[in-house]
Amino acid sequence: MTNEFCFSRLAFALFLMQIITGILLAFYYVPHVERANESVRDITYVVRFGWLVRSLHYWAAQLMVISAALHLVRMAIIGRFKLSCNYSWELGVLILIAAMAVNFTGYLLRWDESTYWALSVGVNLIKHLPLIGGKLYRVAVGGEDIGQPALTRFFVWHCFGIPLLIFALLNSKCWPCTRRRLRIYLRWISGEENGEEIYGMIGQEMIYMMLALVILLSLSLFLVPTIGVKHEYGMPTEEANAPWMFLWIQEMLFHTSALLGGVILPAITFVLLLLAPRLYRFSRLLPPAVTVLIGISAILLSVVRLLR
């Protein structure tokens, strides 16, 4: 039995926080191009404690991405993927991708100048996919131009499609560990397990979770997410920085073509992450080296983008 902190359970707790706050936000958010930005402003400045609910929702999403990434890094460094098999590693990578996707779709729902620019760049990357790019683009935005159908689609994906996927992935990821702990608790109840060790495990877990809650509340109280000016059709949009978790892709786009920097290189990055445990057969240092190298490269590219 181990007392080490489980980042996947933290990700699940943060996901539940997003579900609760998301339901509250849905009572006031209007998924219409003429009212979306204004409704977010109403939530932030008019609805009582709306700013706090929105801030909790926002920071829980950011911290879920960080916890998913840290979970992969720790698995790679300590060799946990050898014990919990590649299936668990692949689930972790898919959770990271899904967490980034739900962040991106939620970011777009503000429907301001910066989010419209990010949406335009993001969906236009789809066009560069060979053979199917044009069709996928029309499916994504609901037509030839970005408008109400696009906002409706991303709202549905953000509220239903991606959360269902995340729940399934997190449930598959966390259930084996939860099942083992339940067995330990049952043995403790029946007198087969040392009670002091159980108390220590529960106490340490509670301390970690309380620390995470303090961090979440502190960020939510003192760093309330901003909202830009409503996007007006026909008005030119200036280039803006993407959300922090996509800055590395934006920097690659600056130096390369849309197909290479926006599609091929990110795809290769996540494929390498998925295949990292299989590199163990060549060298035990390759899985952690590849994982850490990808993380450091993404951080450096993001910093360069912010300094540009």
Q: How far is CA 209 from CA 116, 122, 151, 174, in A?
A: 36, 35, 35, 16
In terms of domains, do 252 and 130 share one?
no
| Rounded Cα–Cα distance for residues 290 and 306 (Å) | 24
Q: Provide the residue range defining the domain that includes 279.
A: 241-308
| Rounded Cα–Cα distance for residues 149 and 161 (Å) | 16
Q: In which residue are the tokens 């909790």 written?
A: 56
Can you give the pLDDT at residue 113? 84
In terms of domains, do 299 and 188 share one?
no
In terms of domains, do 180 and 297 share one?
no
Q: How far is CA 285 from CA 28, 87, 228, 292, in A?
A: 51, 20, 45, 11
Q: In which residue are the tokens 């057969």 written?
A: 281
Average pLDDT over residues 225-248: 79
Can you give the pLDDT at residue 144? 77
Q: Is 1 within the bounds of a domain?
A: no
Instruction: Using the predicted structure, report yes or no on whether residue 24 has a pLDDT greater than 60.
Output: yes
In terms of domains, do 248 and 225 share one?
no
pLDDT tens, residue by residue, 127-181: 888 778 888 888 888 877 788 899 999 999 999 999 999 999 988 877 666 666 6
Can you give the pLDDT at residue 307? 87
| Rounded Cα–Cα distance for residues 11 and 68 (Å) | 7
Q: Is 172 within the bounds of a domain?
A: yes
Q: Is 56 within the bounds of a domain?
A: yes
In terms of domains, do 158 and 220 share one?
yes
In terms of domains, do 33 and 162 share one?
yes
In terms of domains, do 221 and 247 share one?
no
Domain count across the chain: 2
Domain boundary among 216, 234, 252: 234
Q: Residue 34's domain is classified under what CATH number?
A: 1.20.810.10
Q: Which amino acid is at 86?
A: N
Domain boundary among 234, 257, 273: 234
pLDDT tens, residue by residue, 112-132: 888 888 888 888 888 888 778
Q: Is 301 within the bounds of a domain?
A: yes
In terms of domains, do 175 and 261 share one?
no
In terms of domains, do 202 and 270 share one?
no
Q: Is 255 within the bounds of a domain?
A: yes
In terms of domains, do 77 and 149 share one?
yes
**Higher per-residue pLDDT: 2 or 249:** 249
Q: Is 2 within the bounds of a domain?
A: no
In terms of domains, do 173 and 303 share one?
no
Domain boundary among 234, 263, 280: 234
pTM: 0.88
Q: Is 199 within the bounds of a domain?
A: yes
In terms of domains, do 230 and 250 share one?
no
Instruction: Using the predicted structure, report yes or no on whether residue 44 has a pLDDT greater than 60.
Output: yes
Q: Is 16 within the bounds of a domain?
A: yes
| Rounded Cα–Cα distance for residues 142 and 147 (Å) | 8
Instruction: Using the predicted structure, report yes or no on whether residue 107 has a pLDDT greater than 60.
Output: yes
Average pLDDT over residues 6-30: 91
Can you give the pLDDT at residue 189? 63
Instruction: Using the predicted structure, report yes or no on whether residue 186 has a pLDDT greater than 90.
Output: no
**Higher per-residue pLDDT: 77 or 1:** 77
Average pLDDT over residues 251-279: 90
